[in-house]
Amino acid sequence: MPISGVVIMTQPEKTENVLALLNQKDDVTTYGVHKDYHIIAVLEADSSRRLEEMTKEIQQEMPGVLGIFPAYVNFENEVNET
């Protein structure tokens, strides 16, 4: 199961709202708002495709998300399954 640690950049006035919406999503764990309105989150999915879909959903469904930037991606199970 791929897992990714991401930095979510938000518009300052919408950061808290984005955080609340993220906390409602399955397979997303947030680790708070940090400097410059960045939210740290971990996305878990059953495939790389689902990871990508999740980022798309977050960007499209949550006003105030300026960008999602993976800092760490682990897909060892997926590679082992290939």
Partner 1 sequence: MAVSRRDFLKSTAAATAAASIGVNLLPGMSNQVFADSMQWHKSVCRYCGVGCGVMIGEKNGNIVSVKGDSENTINKGHLCVKAFYLHKAVHAQTRLHHAMIKKDGEFKKVSVEEALEFTAKKFNEIRKKHGGNALAFYGSGQAETEETYMANKLFKGCIGTNNVEGNPRLCMASAVGGYLTSLGADEPAGTYEDIEQTEMFLLIGSNTAEAHPIIFERIMSHKNKNPNVKIVIIDPRKTPTDQVADLHLFPKPGFDLPIFNAIAHVLIKEGYADKDFVEKHAFIKDNKGNAVTFEDYKTFLEDYTPDKAAKISGTPANDIIKAARMFGKSKTAMSMWTMGLNQRQRGVWANNLVTNLHLLTGKIGVPGSDSFSLTGQPNACGGVREGGGLCHLLPGHHLVAKEPHRKLAAKIWDVPYENIQPKPGKHTVAMFSALNEGQIKGIYIMCTNPAQSLPNASKYWKGLNDQFVVVAESFFPTMTTKYADVVLPAAFWTEKEGVYGCTERRSQYMPKVKDAQGDAQWDAYLLRDLGKKMGFEKEFTKYETAQDMWDEYRLFTKGTDMDLTGATYDRLKNLRGLTWPIPDENHPGTYKRYTKNDPVFDNLPAEKRAGRRMYFYGPAASEGKASIWMRPHEEPAEPTDAEFSYAMTTGRILEHWHTLTMTGTSPELVRAAPKPYAEINPADARKLGVANRDMVELESRRGKMTFEARVIDRPAPGTVFVPWHWEEKPINVLCNDAFDPGSKEPEYKVAAIKVRKA
Residue 44 Cβ, how far from partner 1 at the closest point, in Å? 7
For β-strands 3-10 and 28-34, DSSP reports them as unpaired
Query: Cα separation of 24 and 71, whole Å?
Result: 22
Note whether 5 binds partner 1 by CB under 8 A.
yes
Decide: is 40 part of the binding site for partner 1 (CB under 8 A): yes
User: Strand, coil or helix: what is 9?
Assistant: strand
Angle at 77 between CA 31 and CA 45, to 5 degrees: 45
User: Cβ closer to partner 1: 9 or 21?
Assistant: 9
- Which chain residues interact with partner 1 by CB under 8 A? 1-7, 9, 11-12, 29, 31, 34-38, 40-42, 44, 47-53, 55-56, 66-76, 78-80, 82
